[in-house]
Structure 1
Amino acid sequence: MATDGDFLLRYRAVSNKLKKRFLRKPNVSEASEQFGQLAKELKQQDCLQYAGFCNLAMARCEQTLFNAPGEAMALTEAARLFLQEEKETQRLKCPGFEEHLQAAINCYSFAIKVYIELNQPVMAASLCLELGNALKDMSKLGEAMVYFQRAAELQTQVPIECLLSLGYVASCKIMTRDYDGALAVFTEMQLLAQEKGLHTPGNSLPVGAFLDIIAKCEVSRVLLLMLLQPPPQKLLPEHAQTLEKYDWEAFDSHSHVNYLTEEVFLLLQSVVMACQENDVESLKVLQVELWPLLTPEQNHLLHLVLQEMICPSGQGI
């Protein structure tokens, strides 16, 4: 395994080739290749931090050569190496200041910026998602949300990908108990899916994955409204319209929610009524019936609704 001294000697030797000399231009291309080779060797020896530094030096060389794609690739590789080093540090429970994580975030951010300047928003968005998922795995949900939201903003030309990224934002908000924020994101997603989805002639509803997203958002929004129980004077019009569809007195309500199966609609309608009547026992029965029909996240929300009904915390909008 390479020692610090070996690495530094070779790193300095390559760096010296970049110094300007009288009547002689530095061979930046050759230096970039040598930094890249040194990075590969160090990575094979599990010297991830040093390999990351070599990739950073390589990125600077590519920037000097005005090779933006090469710069972005080197920055991305450096980011992944620093991130891997941070994960290993955490796995071994070594004390530290998360300096490798910060280095990774900086490299990802610069790579994202380069791809945006290259007018490659899809590549930039993919790096945002990669970093967001890594931060989420480290339980850094607040930071992860920032990058998931950034990914969604970069994916406006690819609506289905944008909706999936917004879904990650909503999930993070639920995990951080920001139920108001999650409700707002699901509402935005539902409207976006309705607007951007592919429609068949004579059908007001989109088809395929867009319809699935609308259905998922609808169920999650109803459960969040049951959890939050906002007073009528603070109930936003779009949320009031949603709850009206589940009113038992409404005529043929299911015709207005035809993106849900009749079974899910009737059970959800029963959940709304059980919450309005504060009927804990009925809600327990409904939870069992709904369990196989909901996503894990929705089952978590339904569990929270039941817990709130049993032991109210006074939460509201």
Structure 2
Amino acid sequence: MFLSARFLRPDLVPRSKMAAEGDFLLRYRAVSNKLKRRFLRKPNVAEASEQFGLLAKELKQEECLQYAGFCNLAVARCEQTLFNAAGEALALTDAARLFLQAEKETQRLQCPGFEEHLQAATNCYSFAIKVYIELNQPVMAASLCLELGNALKEMNKPGEASVHFQRAAELQSQVPIECLLSLGKVATCKIITRDYDGALAVFTEMQLLAQERGLQVPGTCTPVGAFMDIIARCEVSRVLLLMLLQMACQEKDLESLKVLQVELWPLLTPEQNHLLHLVLQEVLAPSGQGV
């Protein structure tokens, strides 16, 4: 089973919430009944999977997103029974995206809730990722990690997002440039959550990885292309983080740093400019000088 009974059985959803969805529950049960074993007759799982899929499409068109998600979960169970792992992963992914859409709509409308759709989406993504790993398809698994991470970051949950970006980086270990980009997302989330020590460690890891596994100029140890850009980002960000952590700026020369900020501003990324601003704001401002 993929999720708790609460998520797998739409009949556990309060009936008041089902009213607008018409005969969804009746149709869902009708298809489910076809999966029950009868004397001397095996259930037609493939037919049930197809019918659950059709019901999911109808519900999606009617913008009944969470119920469409339930139907896709039913499809996934059927495909698992048929030992069709690829179909199972696809159905789980569809369910995850529908639950995620439902959560975004709930937040857009500012409806009270317990983020149950987000929890369901996260669970579906996790199971889909697991299936792709079992299928030896780390690229697909990593893409879903990034998809979930980006969604969580957009929902102002950078701490949770960083976990999934880190997982994506681990799954992309054989593709250095993709791994580095995912680690960059981890570093960004740590900066947002003010985990500057953690961000410094990630940038250090990125720089070492880019130097060791990046493309290099023939006959030299000099990285080229995107790897050089990543190393430059890491070097500047590490310096700024060290300054922010007070391993530098001992003299607290605010005026010099203000001049430096103006000169560096067009050369730095938005993230690096943010770090430089934090250096001025959080390290030097306590001395009593305005920023």
1:282 corresponds to which residue? 256
- Select the residue among 262, 268, 273 that pairs with 1:294: 268
Greater Cα offset, 4-13 or 295-304: 4-13
Which of residues 153, 173, 179 is equivalent to 2:190? 173
What secondary structure sits across from 1:22 in the alignment? coil
One of 259, 273, 279 as aligned partner of 1:305: 279
Equivalent residue, structure 2, for 1:74: 91
Amino acid of the structure 1 residue aligned with 2:163: V
CA deviation profile, 1:137-168 (whole Å, cap 9, x unmatched): 11111111110000000000111000000000
Root mean square deviation, CA, Å:
1.4
CA contact (8 A) 2:21 2:64 kept: no
Q: For this pair of structures, how many residues does the alignment match?
A: 270
Distance 1:64 1:6 in 2: 26
Given the alignment, which residue of 139, 152, 165 partners 1:135? 152
Runs of 4+ in 1 over 2 A off after TM superposition: 1-5, 308-313
- 1:169-223 Cα deviation digits (max 9, x unpaired): 0000000000010000000000000000011222211111111100110000011
User: Secondary structure at 1:184's aligned position in 2?
Assistant: helix
Query: Structure 2 regions of 5+ residues with no counterpart?
Result: 1-17
Counterpart of 2:173 in structure 1: which amino acid?
T
CA distance in 1: counterparts of 2:57 and 2:85, whole angstroms: 21
The one-letter code of the counterpart of 1:54 is: C
Alpha-carbon displacement from aligned partner over 1:218-276 (angstroms, at most 9, x marks no partner): 0000111111123xxxxxxxxxxxxxxxxxxxxxxxxxxxxxxxxxxxxxxxxx7xx34
Name which of structure 1's ranges 18-27 and 302-311 shifts more when overlaid on structure 2: 302-311
* Offset, 1:310: 2.9
The equivalent residue for 1:247 is none
Distance verdict in 2 for CA 1:164–1:287, change over 3 Å: same
Q: Percent identity?
A: 86
**Preserved contact between residue 200 and residue 238 of structure 2 (Cα < 8 Å):** yes
| Corresponding residue for residue 184 of structure 1 | 201
Determine the C-alpha separation between the residues in 2 that align with 1:60 and 1:309. Answer: 55
Task: Verify the 8 A CA contact 1:2 1:45 in the aligned structure 2.
Answer: no
Deviates more, 1:2-11 or 1:76-85: 2-11
Amino acid at match of 2:43: P
State the TM-score, normalized to the length of structure 2.
0.90
TM-score, with length taken from structure 1: 0.83
- CA offset at residue 2 of structure 1? 8.0
Measure the CA separation in 2 of the matches of 1:141 and 1:178: 11
1:45 and 1:117 mapped to 2: Cα distance? Answer: 34
